Structure 1
Amino acid sequence: MIARFKRLVLSASSAAALGLCLSMLPAAASAQIPIKMTLNWKYEGAQAWFFLAQERGYFKAEGLDVQIDQGEGSAAGIPKVAAGTYTAAFGDMNALIDLAGRRPADAPVGVFMLYNVAPFAVAVKKDSPIKEPKDFEGRTLGGAANDGALKLFPTLAKIAGVDRSKVKISNMAPNLREQMLLRNQVDGVFGYVNTIWFAAKLSGMNPELDMRFIKYADYGLDLYSNTVMFSRKFVKEHPEAVKGFLRALNKAIKDVVADPDAGIAAVLKREPLLKRDLEKEKLLATLKRDMSHPEIARIGLGDVDDARLKRAIGLVVEANQLESTPDASLVFDRSFLPPREERLSHF
């Protein structure tokens, strides 16, 4: 009798467990929408919100299965999204504008502007005779082929009256940039101020004492920089997924601003060899230098000012002699953004 009772209990328990499992199957088996994203650069502190959103399950809670890969430059992700290799990218708006002016049907669309202050610069040594862009003539400037500042050099040259035919451009591996400047193998290097600054520190230089930065913004290039962008196909087929991605990202940005150490911890889980203090310093500098345009008090982080974007489009089109001028709505779509009030309280 006792043995039979145990068998009945076990049988009932098994049936209940089986029923519970079956009842959970639809939720567990329901496929999450995959998003394959490439970043602007190697894993670093300034990307903390992407990793924190992943670690804390914010993407998953939105029904998204997000893969985040390191990048090769702020302009490198745009053609990869256009080709369908990636669903999304974090990259340079101006490279996106350039592609939209050449192949509008293939160009990704920006959906969340993060770097609203132009970070583009040419770094020179402190004692360099180069004081302004006109001094680039007769000199050699170096940069990685997919660097956003290098891609925008024609725009700077046109605005500042630089004869590009008199400037030699040397392409180099990104990890050699600061060393080649230090060894006088080039007279200046293209890049983002923060990227060069912290790479120089990592290589043993003191950027504050050893370098000067000729910033594009000082010569009238009030440009946007890195934005989250998605393929036009994905935006059309999965608009709610794009909205969910941005909700998760916006939540993670707030978390990182409130607790930068948590953000850096998430980055270090992805790339343990990074130096914690340096990456935190880089993150805070990015918030201060690249994401602090006064307009966010009015429109919120993530959005763009239409008039400013239109001027930027005009500059890129003219300098690069594009065949057509893409409409602002073609390169940036704010309809996927979280409500404005949810994007006003970051800083």
Structure 2
Amino acid sequence: MPLLSRRQVLAAGTALLAAPHVALAQAPIKLTLPWLAQGSTAYCYIAKEMGAFSRRGLNVETSRGFGSVAAAQALAQGQFDYAVVGAGPMILAAARELPITGLATVNYDMTMGIMVRADSPIRTAKDLEGKRLGAVPTSAEYPFWPAFARRAGIDLSKVTIQQLDNRVLERTLIDRQVDAITAIASSSIPVMQAQNAQSRFIPYSSANLNFYANVICTRPDVLRDRAAQAEAITDALLEAAAFQLREPERALDMFVKQVPEIGITSGGRENARLSQGIMQVTMVKPEAIQNGLGYTDMAAWNAMTDLVMEFGAPADAKRPATDAIISNRFAGKTKLTPAEWDALRARLAPFGAMIG
């Protein structure tokens, strides 16, 4: 065997030393959704299809979620690098001292509430007394059910809670196994309509319980050590969300291409269209219109934190400081014109009527 020169040995050693770093750079960045792949979070897939990730040198792997509470926990435990989490569950996670921080607010109403069948005798929140209420314990809205009940004057002892798996939540209501479910309108209304089941929705906001919706989140250590990456992830997702607003049908085409099972059934695309439309209604808000996509109103965030600490957090929980868990550092770069916002208001009016 011929002897290697000193230069060849050094070159080989350098290559070996560099290899782990190359592998690390190419390893996928892991992002989890709060729920199933739906129109309301399609921008996470559209960002890949339109090249918003690749143009920034990002290799992102998006996974379905099992509720915002579970997504926040999985992020905190290091199973994912980034997560899309509802604002209420995110604040709750921070109050429980889980490492989580928000990079940008995507939309401004979680559309949390109570769903009933259209033919249900339940007309008001108070009518839930004496009824069976289905709920997914790890969902975004369930931790705030007691808060809604208190504000709506519901006697909790008179409501039977039936814990459900998220995969059968709406089906259980359709089959009359429960009288009502706690739900996110942007997720559950499309599922009900896809199964030809008419429904009505009683929003938590009817009892003045208001929460922002999805927030792009990471852990403080990721933000500290990979700030450029965190900014790039945020920029790519907000670019894709803006594309959804401007070109909803093309956006759905991209979504179906990335998640083919959405297009397998005849109702799959319609489900995604409804979910997308309801989500977009909650983006047409002063925060985004005046300041750009992703912007968070800190006064509104403080008010949400007060609600979490009063109704959702354990008695010994520590109130998280707003500036410690959310900022506008990466927000506001992507903007729509006044004419575009006006057009959106008109186009999205039918979706707004669905959530009251």
TM-score bracket, normalised by the shorter chain, equals: 0.7 to 0.9
Per the TM alignment, residue 336 of structure 1 is displaced from its structure 2 partner at its CA by 2.4
Residue 121 of structure 1 contacts residue 193 of structure 1 at CA under 8 Å; is this kept in 2?
yes
Q: State which of 63, 69, 75 in structure 1 corresponds to 2:57.
A: 63
Q: Residue 33 and residue 338 in structure 1: after superposition, are their counterparts in 2 closer, same or farther (change >3 A)?
A: farther
Instruction: Please provide the CA RMSD for this pair.
Output: 2.4
Per-residue CA shift, 1:194-229, capped at 9, x if unaligned?
Answer: 222111112221x2xxx2211101110121121111
Matched, 1:74 2:68: yes
Which residue in 2 is equivalent to 1:12? none
Matched, 1:296 2:284: no
Residue 121 of structure 1 contacts residue 191 of structure 1 at CA under 8 Å; is this kept in 2?
yes
Q: Residue 161 and residue 324 in structure 1: after superposition, are their counterparts in 2 closer, same or farther (change >3 A)?
A: farther
- TM-score between the two structures when normalised by the length of structure 2: 0.81
Structure 1: 5+ residue stretches without partners = 1-24
Per the TM alignment, residue 99 of structure 1 is displaced from its structure 2 partner at its CA by 1.6
Query: Which residue type is aligned with residue 229 of structure 2?
Result: A
Q: Distance in 2 between matches of 1:243 and 1:316?
A: 28
Which residue in 2 is equivalent to 1:52? 46
Secondary structure of the 2:319 match is: coil
Residue 96 of structure 2 contacts residue 313 of structure 2 at CA under 8 Å; is this kept in 1?
no
Which 4+ residue blocks in structure 1 deviate beyond 4 angstroms?
none
Which residue in 1 is equivalent to 2:298? 306
Q: Distance in 2 between matches of 1:240 and 1:174?
A: 35
Count of residue pairs the alignment pairs up: 314
Which residue in 2 is equivalent to 1:115? 107
Per the TM alignment, residue 333 of structure 1 is displaced from its structure 2 partner at its CA by 2.0
Per the TM alignment, residue 344 of structure 1 is displaced from its structure 2 partner at its CA by 4.3
Which residue in 1 is equivalent to 2:222? 234
Residue 40 of structure 1 contacts residue 74 of structure 1 at CA under 8 Å; is this kept in 2?
yes
Residue 31 of structure 2 contacts residue 62 of structure 2 at CA under 8 Å; is this kept in 1?
yes
Where in structure 2 are the equivalents of 1:130-141 lying within 5 Å? 130-141=122-133
Per the TM alignment, residue 321 of structure 1 is displaced from its structure 2 partner at its CA by 4.5
Per-residue CA shift, 1:266-320, capped at 9, x if unaligned?
Answer: 22123223223432233223212x3222332223221111111111110110012
Q: Distance in 1 between matches of 2:272 and 2:245?
A: 14
Per the TM alignment, residue 335 of structure 1 is displaced from its structure 2 partner at its CA by 1.1
Q: State which of 175, 179, 184 in structure 2 corresponds to 1:183.
A: 175
Secondary structure of the 2:294 match is: coil
Q: Distance in 2 between matches of 1:212 and 1:52?
A: 30
Q: State which of 286, 302, 305 in structure 1 corresponds to 2:279.
A: 286
- Larger radius of gyration, structure 1 or 2? 1
Matched, 1:198 2:190: yes
Per-residue CA shift, 1:119-144, capped at 9, x if unaligned?
Answer: 00101123333233233222210022
Q: Residue 324 and residue 161 in structure 1: after superposition, are their counterparts in 2 closer, same or farther (change >3 A)?
A: farther
Query: Which residue type is aligned with residue 277 of structure 2?
Result: L
Residue 51 of structure 1 contacts residue 263 of structure 1 at CA under 8 Å; is this kept in 2?
no
Query: Identity of aligned pairs, percent?
Result: 26
- TM-score between the two structures when normalised by the length of structure 1: 0.83
Matched, 1:88 2:52: no
